[in-house]
Chains A and B, each alone.
Chain A
Amino acid sequence: KQEVTQIPAALSVPEGENLVLNCSFTDSAIYNLQWFRQDPGKGLTSLLLIQSSQREQTSGRLNASLDKSSGRSTLYIAASQPGDSATYLCAVDRNSGNTPLVFGKGTRLSVIA
């Protein structure tokens, strides 16, 4: 059974810092890995999708990497801003893409001005 773990559970940093969020999964037979952002009381916003054949994806100040063989992904946020404060969730496909995502519990990020 696939299990996804995110470390740390919560993180507080001063504005301007670069930071890394970690995600690990127990079964390396994944298809894709997706990072989401969730603001309090809101739905999930897709940030980055890394296909299993890729090693990283970038969008603006965000960079996500994937090491499928070791079951790890990281989300790097450069020059953090207070607007980045949210919960960040990592999720993996089980295999063929027609099966649902399995989620970690998220990392709650606070960026202090």
Chain B
Amino acid sequence: SQTIHQWPATLVQPVGSPLSLECTVEGTSNPNLYWYRQAAGRGLQLLFYSVGIGQISSEVPQNLSASRPQDRQFILSSKKLLLSDSGFYLCAWSAPSLNRVGVLDTEAFFGQGTRLTVV
């Protein structure tokens, strides 16, 4: 079965410090990978998504970046954190595939999230 691991669960970082959040998926190959941020009262905001190694699409320009060094590894980074980077960061994966009746199944699965507080 497939599992997704995201760490750390919580993180407190000072303004201006670097950031690295890691997400790995097990039990599937060539998944689509996603980073979302959830801020209070604002819903889930897509930050980055990747359909393959080295392929990163950015939805919102900001001081964050993402990398996919391996097929099932997705990393969210920042060189210098801002106060506004605080939030709940969620990694997700999907593996679009045709089901037995020929319809594309695109179900997405999420990690447990990282609560980032920038102080």
Contacts and interface: CB of A to CB of B under 8 A. Distances in A.
Given A51-B103, A103-B43, A42 B108 contact: no
Size bracket, chain B contacts: 20 to 34
B32 A42 contact: no
A31 interface: yes
A49 B41 CA distance: 25
Nearest to B10: A41
Contact of B106 (A31, A53, A102, A104): A31
B26 interface: no
Interface in B55-79: 59
A98 B110 contact: no
Interface residues of A, number: 27
A34 B44 contact: no
Interface in B1-52: 6, 32, 34, 36, 41-44, 46, 49, 51
A89 B45 CA distance: 13
A97 B110 CA distance: 16
Interface of B: 6, 32, 34, 36, 41-44, 46, 49, 51, 59, 88, 90, 92, 94, 96, 103-113, 115
20 contacts: A31-B104, A32-B104, A32-B105, A34-B107, A41-B88, A41-B113, A42-B113, A43-B90, A43-B111, A45-B110, A53-B103, A89-B43, A89-B44, A91-B44, A91-B108, A97-B106, A99-B49, A100-B46, A102-B46, A106-B43
